[in-house]
Chain A
Amino acid sequence: MKHIFTFCLVLVMGFTIQAQDKWFTRSGEISFHSSTPVEDIDAVSKTASSVLVPSTGQIQFSVGMKSFVFQRALMQEHFNENYVESDKYPKATFKGKIDDLSKVDFTTPGTYEVTVSGQLTVHGKMNPVKTNATIVVSKDGIHANASFDVTPQDYDIAIPKMVEDKIAKQITVKIKATYQPLNK
């Protein structure tokens, strides 16, 4: 009897996962890291929004630039005022898709390695991004992790000569998100 109940529950859960058109999070974690011999700089936002559409593989992110928190307030101030000009460009966005969607079975718990590509807009400037990502389907949601490098110059972010040796040429961006079904 217990086995029949478990079997039915798995069937229902499988159907539930499949039946959801969209999955979402409002607390995606986006962090970046700059490493130079002079100084390491880290910042994180835990309030990124994201929507994932399993049927098409489409993924979107939106994060407020002011929501990034640095170790030091002075760094945060410089980041917002001098580099990304948050007053003028208050958010960063990503619109893309899972390239190899056939590799992922969103109805079966497991870990799936995929490639994601799309357009990243920061500081009002849009560039293509392609990265490896890990998708973990589990009973408590769909988890996504990715890491890629960006070059500030590609986003028209000018680094003054005076601090050139303190900011890396390539900034590592890490994404961590846990999606729940969007019941709308």
Chain B
Amino acid sequence: MRKIIIPLLIAVVLGVGVALFTWFKPHRDVASEDASYNFSRGEVVELFNQHPDSATTLLLDQVVAIQGEVTGLEGADSSQLVLMDGVVGALIPNSITPEVGQTITLKGRFTNYDDLFFEIRLDQSTWK
């Protein structure tokens, strides 16, 4: 009897553990991930100018690092945006912002190519 109950108990505990982990699994921490792709601002803008659909397919949900000059800042707190020409990154909340004119590497998750402004959009972004 004991031979059956103990493995059964272990299986139930493991099953519940896996279910709870899956249910409450944490959100992706993009800031701690290495970039899968590295570009200069000019390279990535050119890539999307030439092939917006295939570039979107290639980079969607990927962590991308883009080096370029900051041309503007918009928003505040939970939706602080860093603008490069043709690239927009939403910083993780309460980030320190770079200076306009500063050359940085912006790293974030590519979410979409914005066809209203023809801009590459990243979220959960950090910079250095």
Interface residues of A (CB under 8 A from B): 24, 26-27, 29, 46-47, 49-51, 60, 62-67, 69, 72-74, 76, 86-87, 90-91
What distance in Å separates the Cβ of B75 from its nearest Cβ neighbour in chain A? 5
Decide if B111 touches A47 in the complex (CB within 8 Å): yes
Q: How many A-B residue pairs have CB under 8 A?
A: 78
Note all chain B residues with C-beta closer than 8 A to A26: 74-75, 81, 88, 114, 117, 119
* A66-B28 contact, Cβ under 8 Å, with A26-B81, A47-B90, A74-B23: no
- Ordered by A's residue number, 28 sampled pairs between the chains whose C-beta atoms are within 8 Å are A24-B116, A26-B75, A26-B117, A27-B74, A27-B81, A46-B79, A47-B79, A47-B81, A47-B111, A47-B121, A49-B119, A51-B116, A60-B116, A64-B112, A64-B114, A66-B109, A66-B112, A67-B90, A67-B121, A67-B123, A72-B23, A72-B24, A72-B25, A73-B27, A74-B25, A86-B60, A87-B60, A87-B61
Q: Are A49 and B109 in contact (CB under 8 A)?
A: no
Q: Which residue of A lies closest to B123 (CB)?
A: A67
Chain B nearest CB from A126 CB (Å) reads: 15
CB distance from B109 to the nearest CB of A (A): 7
Closest to B21 in A: A74
Inter-subunit contact B60/A46 (CB<8 Å): no
Nearest CB in chain B to that of A63: its residue: B112
Looking at the assembled complex, report how far the CB atom of B85 sits from the nearest CB atom of chain A, in whole angstroms: 12
Q: Which 6 A-B pairs have the closest CB atoms?
A: A64-B112, A64-B111, A46-B79, A66-B111, A27-B79, A67-B111
- How near does chain A come to B7, taking the closest CB pair, in angstroms? 28
Flag if A49 contacts B90 (CB, 8 Å): no
Q: Are B115 and A62 in contact (CB under 8 A)?
A: yes
Give chain B residues whose Cβ lies under 8 Å from the Cβ of A47.
79, 81, 88, 90, 111, 121, 123
Chain A residues positioned under 8 Å from B22 (CB to CB) = 74
A51 to B117, CA, bound (A): 9
In contact, A76 and B27 (Cβ under 8 angstroms): yes
